[in-house]
Amino acid sequence: MTDAKLLTGCFTAIVTPFRPDGSFDEPAFRKLVDWQIAEGVNGLVPCGSTGEAATMSLAERVAVVRACVEQAAGRVPVIAGAGGSDTMVAIETSHAMAEAGATHLLHSSPAYSKPPQRGIIAHFRAVADAARIPIVLYNVPGRTASNMEAATTLALSEHPNIVAVKEASGNLQQVSEIVRARPAHLAVLSGDDPLTLAVVAAGGHGIVSVVSNAAPRAMAQLTAAALSGDVAAARRLHLRLTPFFAAAFVETNPLPIKASLAMMGRIGNVLRLPLVPMDPAREPLLREALAAAGALGQ
């Protein structure tokens, strides 16, 4: 059994719908929030990579988080993306997201500058000292160009304001090292949809999911089954979703997941440059995977 105080379950890294003119489609977003919660997800993560935060101004990101908080209305946690490569800017963003009503902050390790592990530790400690709400660390080497080592995560977990880590290194050995030595207050969440079952089986606490944007019920059920020890049910859902796990990342996230939601009639397939809509040649593969996951027709 997991500690009820931990962040556990399936948390959707929710997309940001845009209108054809590129502006935030707030009505579509609010409908997505309601649908996600009704389908059983355990939390929402707006303004992350999937939410295209890198192409949005701070004012726009605050508007998205505020809409998410208002629509969620306390039903689930709202973990707002607030990361940045400039520590002072990351602190300012954290304050803005707290004022918008977020319950937690998601902070990726600094990108581009590639600080050494001691620099990553200094960055996160400064942010955690200043933040008014709890922090979820985010290790995503594919985007930051540096790995946050298990020892670094564990050193940071000593800070009382750091309550979880989203691990997207794809390295199960590293995740296992964190799980083995973590303090009781630290939740370990997978950042890779295909590894949800494996991470929970290793002692992790859930997933921050891209796939749950289009298949929220299935991902929430998979995670719940794994956490409860119902391996057979979790395995069935994992295998049913496996084609979609691949198709959802056939091009850079969030291109395929936005195309999926457009196929489902939930949002327009609009992205901000330099992102562009998914290659139409991949649509049959994506549609087939969506159907296999049971997501079309929802």
- Taking the domains of the chain in order of start, what are their residue ranges? 9-230
pLDDT for 113? 86
pLDDT for 2? 38
Angle at CA of residue 39, ends 38 and 42, nearest 5°: 90
Closest to 241 measured CA to CA, from 213, 264, 263: 213
Cα-to-chain-centroid distance, residue 285: 24
The CATH superfamily of 9-230 is: Aldolase class I (3.20.20.70)
Q: What does the alpha-carbon distance between residue 147 and residue 108 come to, in Å, rounded to a whole number? A: 11
pLDDT for 298? 58
pTM: 0.96
**Has 5 been annotated as catalytic?**
no
Residue by residue, what is the 3-state secondary structure of the chain? CCCCCCCCEEEECCCCCECCCCCECHHHHHHHHHHHHHCCCCEECCCCCCCCHHHCCHHHHHHHHHHHHHHHCCCCCEEEECCCCCHHHHHHHHHHHHHCCCCEEEEECCCCCCCCHHHHHHHHHHHHHHCCCCEEEEECHHHHCCCCCHHHHHHHCCCCCEEEEEECCCCHHHHHHHHHHCCCCCEEEECCHHHHHHHHHCCCCEEEECHHHCCHHHHHHHHHHHHHCCHHHHHHHHHHHHHHHHHCCCCCCCHHHHHHHHHCCCCCCCCCCCCCCCCHHHHHHHHHHHHHCCCCCC
**Has 31 been annotated as catalytic?**
no
Give me the catalytic one of 31, 112, 114, 166.
Answer: 166
pLDDT for 5? 81
Of the chain, the end-to-end C-alpha distance in Å amounts to 32
pLDDT in tens, the chain (298 residues): 334 489 999 999 999 999 999 999 999 999 999 999 999 999 999 999 999 999 999 999 999 999 999 999 999 999 999 999 999 999 999 999 999 999 999 999 999 888 999 999 999 999 999 999 999 999 999 899 899 999 999 999 999 999 999 999 999 999 999 999 999 999 999 999 999 999 999 999 999 999 999 999 999 999 999 999 999 999 999 999 999 999 999 999 999 999 999 999 999 999 999 999 999 999 999 999 999 999 986 5
Give me the catalytic one of 5, 114, 138, 258.
Answer: 138
pLDDT for 296? 82
Q: What does the alpha-carbon distance between residue 183 and residue 3 come to, in Å, rounded to a whole number? A: 12
Closest to 234 measured CA to CA, from 198, 188, 282: 198
